[in-house]
């Protein structure tokens, strides 16, 4: 009789505590996640911090947090952390009443991309595992991984561009510009460019005016059309990723040397607005020479999807219809078909310079 009563009481207590955990385990549990860096370059490391707080009297013997993570974000192994199938990040916590726990995770960012970490599934329960309530919560956390930067000499620039009055000669050398008088100091100018003698004469800051900056602006284009004669998904992605790294490297060099630089391509980004409208808009960024412009280009490159939005022929036709002129255009492409050749000639007649960076050279260099 006593044994039966003990079993009954035990079963009742187990049922009560199971019911309590089923109903209240996830109540008054706060969770926060953030990255120490909003953006890093591919190959760099950053840190993700998790903060969880149990704001009630009921202790939590265990609580598990699960989030889908891209396998390109590699977590350093540590206690109470597991990566399932290189896709799911799991953290396990034990929380006493009114306890706060902060945990830091080291992450190696192996690939360019935009990584929104917008939700977490929270599961808890009693000591015996009978109750396992769960819920999915939204969190505001994202990480941008910029393309890997290379040395400027690693860019496969056309050999002819190193001779004569062509695009590269204007900007690749340390001092490629010719003075053409002075102009007022602007927000994007550096103190090194100030002409102090002219400033004293006029009473206002003056900088040396350059023939190039007065007449030309640099545009970097990437062609995302696919060459179906020699196409595989892996090969295509390798070529496009290398082109994106080249674009980031070129923009870094030119903008840091004071050259107004823009970017364009016939792909699109994974911005929230475009997800909602399902409208894949090609990229066009007008030339500027500022730190903000450089980071804006980095961000666009990080978010680029490796799929075209329109054909590159349509993309160039938009320039022609807009009567674009006065631009130095670099086109990174694997191919130039008959229609593109006609459009390039038209752009030149409109007063632009156009050079091709062949992406097949990238592939050959990679295989060498």
pLDDT at 52 over 90: yes
pLDDT at 213 over 70: no
Domain ranges of the chain: 28-146, 152-176+216-367
Q: Which residues contact 85 (CB under 8 A, 6 or more apart)?
A: none
DSSP-assigned beta bridge partners for residue 365: none
Give the Cα separation of 133 and 204 in Å (integer): 69
pLDDT at 5 over 80: no
Query: How far does Cα 14 stand from its chain's mean position?
Result: 50
Mean pLDDT of the chain: 81
User: Residue 218: enclosing H or E segment and its boundaries?
Assistant: strand 217-222
Give the Cα separation of 243 and 53 in Å (integer): 45
Give the Cα separation of 253 and 265 in Å (integer): 19
What is the pLDDT, as a whole number, of residue 207?
A: 75
Ramachandran angles phi, psi of 162, nearest 5°: -90, 0
340: which 2 tokens?
A: 């593109």
Radius of gyration of the chain (CA): 29
pLDDT tens-digit profile of 308-347? 999 999 999 999 999 999 899 999 998 898 999 999 999 9
Give the Cα separation of 220 and 355 in Å (integer): 10
Give the Cα separation of 114 and 134 in Å (integer): 28
Q: Kindly list the distances between the CA atom of residue 209 and the CA atoms of 164, 177, 178, 259, 288, in Å, as whole numbers in the listed order.
A: 22, 9, 8, 13, 16
pLDDT tens-digit profile of 259-313? 899 999 999 987 654 454 456 789 999 999 999 999 999 999 999 999 999 999 9
pTM for the whole structure:
0.77
pLDDT tens-digit profile of 161-183? 433 344 444 544 444 444 556 67
- Architecture of the CATH domain 28-146: Sandwich (2.60)
Listed residue (261, 305, 43) closest to 149, CA to CA: 43
Give the Cα separation of 36 and 51 in Å (integer): 13
Q: Please identify, in words, the CATH class of the domain defined by 152-176+216-367.
A: alpha beta
The domains spanning 28-146 and 152-176+216-367 adopt the same CATH topology: no
Give the Cα separation of 27 and 37 in Å (integer): 31
Q: Which residues contact 210 (CB under 8 A, 6 or more apart)?
A: 177, 178, 179, 180
| 211 vs 299, residue with greater confidence | 299
pLDDT tens-digit profile of 183-209? 777 766 666 677 777 766 777 777 776
214: which 2 tokens?
A: 């007065």
What is the pLDDT, as a whole number, of residue 172?
A: 46
Angle at 336 (CA atoms; ends 331, 340), nearest 5 degrees: 85
Within 10 Å of residue 163's Cβ, how many Cβ atoms? Answer: 9
Q: Which residues contact 245 (CB under 8 A, 6 or more apart)?
A: 112, 147, 148, 149, 150
Answer whether 216's CB lies under 8 Å from 326's CB.
Answer: yes
What is the pLDDT, as a whole number, of residue 175?
A: 43
Listed residue (32, 72, 78, 29) closest to 54, CA to CA: 29
DSSP structure string for 141-200? -EEEEEPPP--GGGS---GGGGSSSSHHHHHSSSS---EEEEEE--TT--GGGB-HHHHH
């Amino acid at each position: 009789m006593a044994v039966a009563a003990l079993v009954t009481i035990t079963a009742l207590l187990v049922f009560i505590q199971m019911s309590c955990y089923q109903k209240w385990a996830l109540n008054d549990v706060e969770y926060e996640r953030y990255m120490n860096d909003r953006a890093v370059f591919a190959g760099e490391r950053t840190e993700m911090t998790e903060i969880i707080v149990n704001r009630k009297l009921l202790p939590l013997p265990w609580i598990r947090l699960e989030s889908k993570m891209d396998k390109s974000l590699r977590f350093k192994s540590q206690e109470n952390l597991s990566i399932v199938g290189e896709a799911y990040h799991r953290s396990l916590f034990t929380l006493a009443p009114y306890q706060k726990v902060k945990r830091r995770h080291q992450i190696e960012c192996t690939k360019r991309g935009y990584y929104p970490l917008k939700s977490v599934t929270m599961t808890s329960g009693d000591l015996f595992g009978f109750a396992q309530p769960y819920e999915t919560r939204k969190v505001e956390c994202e990480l941008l991984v910029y393309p890997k930067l290379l040395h400027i000499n690693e860019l496969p620039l056309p050999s002819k561009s190193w001779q004569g009055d062509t695009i590269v000669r204007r900007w690749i050398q340390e001092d490629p510009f010719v003075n053409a008088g002075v102009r007022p100091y602007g927000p994007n100018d550096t103190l090194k460019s100030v002409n102090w003698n002219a400033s004293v004469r006029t009473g206002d800051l003056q900088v040396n005016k350059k023939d190039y900056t007065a007449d030309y602006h640099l545009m970097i284009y990437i062609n995302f059309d696919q060459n179906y004669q020699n196409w595989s998904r892996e090969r295509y992605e390798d070529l496009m990723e290398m082109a994106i790294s080249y674009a980031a490297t070129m923009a870094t060099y030119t903008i840091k040397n004071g050259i107004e630089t823009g970017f364009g391509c016939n792909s699109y980004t994974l911005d929230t607005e475009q997800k909602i409208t399902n409208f894949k808009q090609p990229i066009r960024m007008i030339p500027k020479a500022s730190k903000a412009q450089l980071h804006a280009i980095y961000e666009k490159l990080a978010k680029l999807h490796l799929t075209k939005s329109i054909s590159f022929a349509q993309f160039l036709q938009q320039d022609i219809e807009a009567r674009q002129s006065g631009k130095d255009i670099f086109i990174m492409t694997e191919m130039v078909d008959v229609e593109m050749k006609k459009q390039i000639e038209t752009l030149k007649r409109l007063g632009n310079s156009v050079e091709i960076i062949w992406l097949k050279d990238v592939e050959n260099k990679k295989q060498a």
